[in-house]
Amino acid sequence: MAVEATRRTRWRRAGRPRGDGTGWAERMRRDRFLLLLAAPGVAVVLLFYYLPLLGNVIAFKDYQPYLGISGSPWVGWSNFDVIFNGDPEFMTALKNTLIVSLAQVVFVFPVPIAIALLLNSLLSERIKRVVQSILYLPHFMSWVIVVALFQSMLGNAGMLNTWLVQHGSGGIHIIGDPGLFKVLITSQVIWKDAGWGTILFLAALSRIDLSLYEAAAVDGASRLRQLWHVTLPGIKSVIVLLFILKLGDSLNIGFEQILLQQAPVGSNASEVLDTYVYNHGVINGEWGVSAAVGLVKGLVSVGLVLGANKVAHIFGERGVYES
């Protein structure tokens, strides 16, 4: 058996036919049209996602735009001192990022699941489509429009405060209150993206065999028991997969959203890693420091994905990939 496995490996390396009778050259020729269709997308990914990774070298340089990457002097790990030595501004940005990330994982992630379960329980397909269309609409709005809408409703001169003043009550300062800033941006994310996030969960719910509900009903299971023993296990793999991807993206908490609302509340309440990179890199010209912070953030995000995927394997789920 070992000799046969070695022989098959040599055949693959030599481009000879495998067990299905097709070698890699023949398969490339057979799938040439599919490869041509995929080529533009692959080129875009390589050009705009992988090629810019080479620019992370400026994290180890005193980068000056007029000198270029090759002409800027090496400084080693000096740019990472803000991380290793606990720079106060960096620690503030890190703390705010972790708080907002935790809030979005705990409060934002379950909302699309709950909405999908509610939509799936609707008997009328027409009502379901109308509700879905309404919920999807905010996703297509830019953060400029979303922030403007919230300011017009909850700002000091917004609709809510105007109504309260007209009825003899004091105004509620929501926009511009540092203590409510994290609650505000979490609410904005839920309003904007929760409806769009239901798409994958609704697709997973549509794949559950209806005979399982019928069998559960025959056994006397209530709607709640059917939800717990049939519905949730049926979409568990999708929930795990999206949760892993959410963890990998948890440190990216909305650069445009926060930057548009940062001035009224101040940097102590609103500075996160993304705005820290922007303010110190683009605004202050500390390109090396910003690249170092961005590089570490990316490595931590990769570590979160790998760790969460490993935990998924321990509990018997496939996760993002199989090891």
**pLDDT tens-digit readout, 193-222:** 999 999 999 999 988 888 888 898 888 888
In the predicted structure, residue 41 carries a pLDDT above the cut 90: yes
Query: Which range has highest mean pLDDT (101-115, 167-181, 304-318)?
Result: 101-115
* Residue 227 to residue 216: CA distance in whole angstroms: 10
* Residue 81 to residue 166: CA distance in whole angstroms: 54
For residue 213, give every residue at least 6 positions away whose Cβ sits within 8 Å of its Cβ, in sequence order, or none. 226, 230
pLDDT mean over 81-95: 90
pLDDT mean over 29-55: 91
Residue carrying structure tokens 């340089």: 61
Q: Which of 304, 323, 303 is nearest to 313 (CA)?
A: 323
What per-residue confidence (pLDDT) applies to 80?
A: 93
pLDDT band at 59 (very low <50, low <70, confident <90, very high): very high
What per-residue confidence (pLDDT) applies to 109?
A: 93
pLDDT mean over 85-110: 91
For residue 55, give every residue at least 6 positions away whose Cβ sits within 8 Å of its Cβ, in sequence order, or none. 69, 291
In the predicted structure, residue 8 carries a pLDDT above the cut 60: no
Write out pLDDT tens, residues 267-310: 898 999 999 999 988 888 889 999 999 999 989 988 888 888 88
Task: Go through 185-215 and write b for each residue having 16 or more CB atoms within 10 A of its CB, e for each that does not.
Answer: bbbbbbbbbbbbbbebbbebbeeeeeeebee
In the predicted structure, residue 10 carries a pLDDT above the cut 60: no
pLDDT top residue among 166 and 3: 166
* Residue 276 to residue 258: CA distance in whole angstroms: 11
What per-residue confidence (pLDDT) applies to 14?
A: 47
Residue carrying structure tokens 């609410």: 187
In the predicted structure, residue 3 carries a pLDDT above the cut 50: no
> Integer distance in angstroms from the first to the last C-alpha of the chain?
24
What per-residue confidence (pLDDT) applies to 214?
A: 86
> 149-156 long-range CB contacts below 8 Å, 24 or more apart?
150/175, 150/184, 150/188, 151/175, 154/184
What per-residue confidence (pLDDT) applies to 9?
A: 52
74 three-state secondary structure: strand
Q: Which of 176, 302, 161 is nearest to 244 (CA)?
A: 302
In the predicted structure, residue 89 carries a pLDDT above the cut 60: yes
pLDDT mean over 30-58: 91
* Residue 93 to residue 273: CA distance in whole angstroms: 5
Least confident interval from 12-21, 152-161, 282-291: 12-21
Residue carrying structure tokens 């790990």: 77
What per-residue confidence (pLDDT) applies to 275?
A: 92
DSSP-assigned letter for residue 157: T
Write out pLDDT tens, residues 192-201: 999 999 999 9
pLDDT band at 323 (very low <50, low <70, confident <90, very high): low
pLDDT over 90, % of the chain: 37
pLDDT mean over 20-33: 80
